[in-house]
């Protein structure tokens, strides 16, 4: 029984390596002022409304999601390095004796780990980082990462929830939650930051105050209604407070009606709202 328990705990801790964790944020939201409306109808499906005010709110929601998308993208970097190190050290120990401990990071600082068992299965783990630097030149990482397994069969079959609260990291502070599932060795995660849930593959880059979201899909709420936002080459300048180019499509998750937002530069956006096949175009100016 002890051998079985040891095997399961080892597999559970090693399976942590597979998870792509969190992302690190760039900040920023925008304020918008209404522009000129075109096609002016006031049609509504209860979620999307063909109006100037709704178009302005939609632009704000899209710009507000950029920092959250950037956090998710960055999350798959630094923490996974730490998890690999934690798991490798933990595997060298007998978890029946050493279910918790402290390990020096590769360059400086340290992190502690604690595994929680439920019978012969691993049920969770907590990693606490203290000015941990794993690569020369990187900013130190401090904070906690808590993992709770909601189901665990083996290293390739589990579901877990994550809570990340890093006060510092190479990409800044990170605070968010995720649900990850491993199905036959393939891990997929859905991250939640600031009211935006990010899932699937994200491509994003940051240079100075400008963040480019090449592609990303997020779900959030707008006027208390569920919507999906799909970004395509959305270039957001946080110092200016507006996007300079790209498109974002908002879709009503219940019926497929949508709004296509195009950033035209200088704080100007074109918003084409389509409800039941009928379209209306609005201009929104962000200042």
User: What is d(CA 154, CA 122) in angstroms, rounded to the nearest whole number?
Assistant: 10
User: What is d(CA 254, CA 237) in angstroms, rounded to the nearest whole number?
Assistant: 32
Cβ atoms of 42 and 49 within 8 Å: the answer is yes
**Can you say how many angstroms the Cα of residue 62 is from the centroid of all Cα atoms in its chain?**
15
pTM of the model: 0.62
Predicted pLDDT at 256: 84
Helices (H), 49-187: 52-64, 66-75, 78-91
Predicted pLDDT at 76: 47
Please give the residue that has the higher pLDDT: either 57 or 187: 57
User: What is d(CA 244, CA 208) in angstroms, rounded to the nearest whole number?
Assistant: 15
The percentage of the chain sitting over the pLDDT mark of 90, rounded to a whole number, equals 28
Helix axis angle, 52-64 relative to 66-75, nearest 10°? 20
Integer CA distances (angstroms), 99 to 113, 128, 162, 212, in order: 8, 14, 19, 42
Cβ atoms of 199 and 215 within 8 Å: the answer is no
Helix (H, G, I), strand (E, B) or coil at 17: helix
pLDDT, tens digit, 9 for 90 and up, residues 145-156: 888 888 877 667
Helix axis angle, 2-15 relative to 78-91, nearest 10°? 160
Determine the average pLDDT of the residues in 230-258: 93
Determine the average pLDDT of the residues in 259-268: 96
Cβ atoms of 84 and 55 within 8 Å: the answer is no
- Residue 74 — pLDDT band, cuts 50, 70, 90? low
Integer CA distances (angstroms), 128 to 109, 136, 214, 236, in order: 11, 20, 33, 33
Please give the residue that has the higher pLDDT: either 154 or 59: 59
User: What is d(CA 57, CA 52) in angstroms, rounded to the nearest whole number?
Assistant: 9
pLDDT, tens digit, 9 for 90 and up, residues 166-214: 888 766 677 777 787 878 877 777 777 778 888 777 788 888 889 999 9
Residue 110 has a CB neighbour count (10 Å cut-off) of: 13
**All structural domains of the chain with their residue ranges:** 2-11+25-285
Task: Record the tokens describing residue 88, joined without a space.
Answer: 């490798």
Cβ atoms of 216 and 224 within 8 Å: the answer is no
């Amino acid at each position: 029984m002890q051998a079985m328990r040891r095997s399961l705990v080892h597999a559970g801790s090693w399976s942590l390596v597979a998870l792509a964790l969190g992302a690190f944020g760039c900040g920023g939201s925008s304020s918008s002022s209404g522009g000129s409306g075109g096609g002016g109808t006031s049609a509504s499906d209860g979620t999307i409304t063909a109006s100037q005010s709704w178009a302005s709110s939609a632009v704000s929601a899209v710009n507000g999601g950029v920092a959250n998308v950037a956090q998710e993208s960055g999350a798959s970097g630094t923490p996974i390095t730490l998890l690999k190190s934690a798991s490798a050290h933990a595997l060298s120990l007998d978890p029946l004796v050493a279910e918790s401990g402290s390990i020096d990071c590769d360059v400086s600082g340290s992190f502690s780990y604690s595994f929680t068992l439920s019978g012969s299965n691993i049920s969770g783990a907590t990693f606490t980082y203290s000015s941990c630097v794993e690569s020369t030149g990187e900013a130190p990482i401090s904070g906690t990462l808590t993992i709770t397994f909601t189901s665990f069969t083996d290293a390739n079959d589990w579901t877990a929830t994550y809570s990340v609260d890093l006060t510092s990291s190479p990409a800044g502070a990170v605070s968010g939650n995720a649900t990850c599932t491993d199905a036959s060795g393939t891990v997929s995660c859905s991250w939640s930051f600031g009211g935006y849930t990010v899932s699937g593959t994200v491509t994003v880059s940051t240079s100075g105050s400008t963040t480019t979201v090449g592609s990303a899909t997020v779900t959030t709420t707008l006027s208390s209604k569920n919507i999906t936002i799909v970004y395509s080459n959305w270039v957001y300048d946080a110092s200016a407070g507006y996007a300079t180019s790209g498109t974002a499509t908002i879709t009503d998750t219940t019926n497929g009606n949508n709004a296509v937002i195009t950033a035209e530069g200088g704080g100007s956006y074109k918003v084409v709202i389509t409800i039941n096949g009928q379209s209306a175009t609005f201009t929104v100016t962000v200042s």
